[in-house]
C-alpha cells in the first residue's frame, strides 16, 4: 500500500490493553449469563446454554470495535493527493544539535527531546513559512530540505537522535551555520531565517572566530540567525542508556563528564547576524518571541506550490466500528427475544 503511515501512531499502544480488556469483557458477559440463570431458575439453564454462542459472538464484535476505534484514532493514511498552496512566508531552517551532550537531562526529559518539541512548536507557529531542518553533530549533518509538508517535517524531527553522532563527537555550530547558508542562499532573494537550537558546547580550536565568520557569511546572504540555548548553567551528566551503553559518558581520565549550557557562541552567532538569543523556558514562551520577531519582517513573494499530502483513511475504520456497534444492538435484541421465547 503506497505511503502507508499512522499520523498519530502513539495511539496504537492502546492495542496492548486489548487482550486484558477482551478477557475482562468475556468474563463480565459470562457473569451476566450466570446471573440470568440464577435469577430465572434451573428450568432455563438448557435454554441459556444454547444462547452461549450468541454471547461469544457479541464479545468478539465488541472486541473488534475496540481495535477498529484505536486504529481510527491513530489516523491511518495512504495514497497521495496533490494540492496547490499559496504561501507568502519567510524561508526558515531549524538547526538542531544532536551531539551526545544533548542527552543530558537538565532539560526534562532531555535536551534533545526538548529541542524536538521546540522545533515542532515552531513548525506549527510558522504556518506560512517553508521550513527545513538540519541535524548537526561534529562533522555529521542531516538535512530535510525546505518544504510545506508538515507531516514529513514532523516525521523527520521525531526521528532525530544522537545516533548521528559518534561516541566522541561534539557540537559544530560553525558547520551547522555554513550548511544552513548553503541551503538558504539560493532559496530566493528575500530575507531568510536560521533558528539554531543547541547547548552551545564546542570542542574545536578557536570556535568563536569560526562561528563569527560563518555568521557574517550568513548575514551577507540575507540570513538572520536566531539562537536558542538548551540546558542549564549548573550542568548535568550525560546518560548513555538511550544509545545502548551503561552509565554516563566519561572523560579520558575515567571521570563522569558534566555538560553545561555555553551561551557565548550562541550569542555571537545571533549578534553577528542581527538576530536574537533566547533560552528555553518552562512555558515555551521562546516560541512566541521567535514568531513575533520573524513576523516583523516583510514576507516574501507569493509562491504557488504544488505539494503532495497523504489522504486520511480513518473514516473507513470508524464506519466499520459503527457498523459493528449497530450489529451488536441487533444481536442483543435477538438474544433477548430468543431468551424470552
325 and 291 in one domain?
no
181 and 282 in one domain?
yes
315 and 297 in one domain?
no
19 and 143 in one domain?
no
CATH of the domain at 246: 3.40.50.410
Mean pLDDT, residues 259-272: 95
Q: How high is the pLDDT of residue 300?
A: 56
Contacts of 221 (CB under 8 A, 6+ apart): 181, 184, 185, 192
61 and 99 in one domain?
no
Mean pLDDT, residues 106-110: 92
Q: Which of 53-62, 153-162, 230-239 has maximum average pLDDT?
A: 230-239
**Residue 127: pLDDT over 60:** yes
| Average pLDDT of the chain, as a whole number | 82
**Residue 229: pLDDT over 90:** yes
20 and 103 in one domain?
no
- Residue-number span of the structural domain to which 24 is assigned: 5-78+311-340
Q: How high is the pLDDT of residue 33?
A: 65
**Residue 15: pLDDT over 90:** no
38 and 113 in one domain?
no
145 and 10 in one domain?
no
Question: Residue 52 — very low, low, confident or very high, per pLDDT cuts 50/70/90?
Answer: low
Lowest model confidence (mean pLDDT) among 172-181, 200-209, 297-306: 297-306
238 and 126 in one domain?
yes
Question: Residue 326 — very low, low, confident or very high, per pLDDT cuts 50/70/90?
Answer: confident
Q: Which residue has the higher pLDDT, 184 or 28?
A: 184
252 and 111 in one domain?
yes
290 and 215 in one domain?
yes
Q: How high is the pLDDT of residue 257?
A: 92
Cell of 306: 504544488
**Number of structural domains in the chain:** 2
* Residue 127: inside a domain: yes
137 and 282 in one domain?
yes
* Residue 83: inside a domain: no
Amino acid at each position: 500500500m503506497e505511503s502507508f503511515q499512522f499520523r498519530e501512531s502513539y495511539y496504537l499502544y492502546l492495542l496492548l490493553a486489548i487482550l486484558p480488556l477482551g478477557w475482562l469483557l468475556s468474563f463480565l458477559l459470562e457473569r451476566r449469563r450466570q446471573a440470568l440463570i440464577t435469577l430465572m431458575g434451573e428450568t432455563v439453564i438448557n435454554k441459556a446454554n444454547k444462547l452461549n454462542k450468541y454471547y461469544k459472538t457479541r464479545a468478539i464484535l465488541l472486541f473488534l470495535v475496540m481495535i477498529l476505534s484505536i486504529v481510527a484514532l491513530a489516523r491511518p493514511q495512504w495514497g497521495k493527493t496533490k494540492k496547490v498552496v499559496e504561501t507568502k512566508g519567510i524561508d526558515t531552517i531549524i538547526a538542531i544539535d544532536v551531539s551526545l551532550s544533548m542527552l543530558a537531562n537538565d532539560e526534562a526529559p532531555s535536551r534533545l527531546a526538548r529541542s524536538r518539541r521546540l522545533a515542532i512548536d515552531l513548525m506549527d507557529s510558522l504556518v506560512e513559512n517553508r521550513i527545513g531542518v538540519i541535524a548537526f553533530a561534529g562533522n555529521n549533518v542531516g538535512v530535510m530540505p525546505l518544504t510545506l509538508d508538515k507531516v514529513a517535517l514532523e516525521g523527520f524531527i521525531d526521528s532525530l537522535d544522537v545516533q548521528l553522532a559518534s561516541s566522541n563527537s561534539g557540537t559544530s555550530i560553525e558547520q551547522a551555520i555554513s550548511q544552513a547558508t548553503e541551503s538558504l542562499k539560493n532559496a530566493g532573494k528575500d530575507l531568510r531565517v536560521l533558528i539554531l537550537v543547541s547547548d552551545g558546547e564546542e570542542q574545536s580550536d578557536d570556535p568563536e572566530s569560526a562561528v563569527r565568520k560563518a555568521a557574517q557569511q550568513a548575514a551577507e546572504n540575507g540570513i538572520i540567525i536566531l539562537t536558542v540555548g538548551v540546558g542549564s548553567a549548573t550542568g548535568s551528566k550525560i546518560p548513555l542508556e538511550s544509545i545502548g551503553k551503561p552509565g554516563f559518558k566519561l572523560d579520558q581520565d575515567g571521570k563522569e563528564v558534566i555538560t553545561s549550557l555555553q551561551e557565548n557562541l550562541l550569542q555571537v552567532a545571533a549578534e553577528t547576524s542581527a538576530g536574537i538569543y533566547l533560552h528555553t523556558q518552562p512555558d515555551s514562551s521562546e516560541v512566541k518571541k521567535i514568531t513575533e520577531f520573524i513576523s516583523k519582517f516583510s514576507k516574501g513573494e507569493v509562491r504557488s506550490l504544488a505539494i503532495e499530502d497523504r489522504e486520511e483513511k480513518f473514516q473507513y475504520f470508524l464506519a466499520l466500528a459503527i457498523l459493528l456497534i449497530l450489529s451488536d444492538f441487533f444481536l442483543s435484541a435477538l438474544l433477548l427475544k430468543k431468551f424470552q421465547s
